[in-house]
Amino acid sequence: MSDAIVFVCTANSCNDGPWEGSHDAMAHCAEHPDHGYTGRPRSEVDADRVIPATATRKRDNRNLQHKGHPRGALAQND
């Protein structure tokens, strides 16, 4: 992700953000059904108040029903 892009809430009445990470903007907007977010160049927003991105954990999102095995894609020698 480019350091030149930050994410902002597009709701007219919302003053939260901007965020460095899209996952932070997504988490905010998921709590409010009428909110959405988009990326903006950092130069268009107040760069002094950008919220740093939070760390995310790597997740295994492979199909867990792979070949019908209960361990899914994690199964060995199926």
| Domain limits, the chain | 1-53
Report the SS3 class of residue 41. strand
**What is the number of residues in the chain?**
78
Mean pLDDT value across residues 4-28: 88
pLDDT by residue (tens digit) across 22-76? 888 888 888 888 899 988 888 888 767 888 888 877 766 565 555 555 665 555 5
End-to-end, the C-alpha distance of the chain in Å comes to 37
Following CA atoms 75, 73, 56, 7 in sequence, which dihedral angle do they give, to the nearest 10 degrees? 180
Helix %, strand %, coil % of the chain (to 5): 25, 15, 60
Q: Choose between 67 and 21: higher pLDDT.
A: 21
pLDDT-derived band at 78 (thresholds 50, 70, 90) equals: very low
Predicted confidence at residue 3, as pLDDT, reads: 61
pTM score over 0.85: no
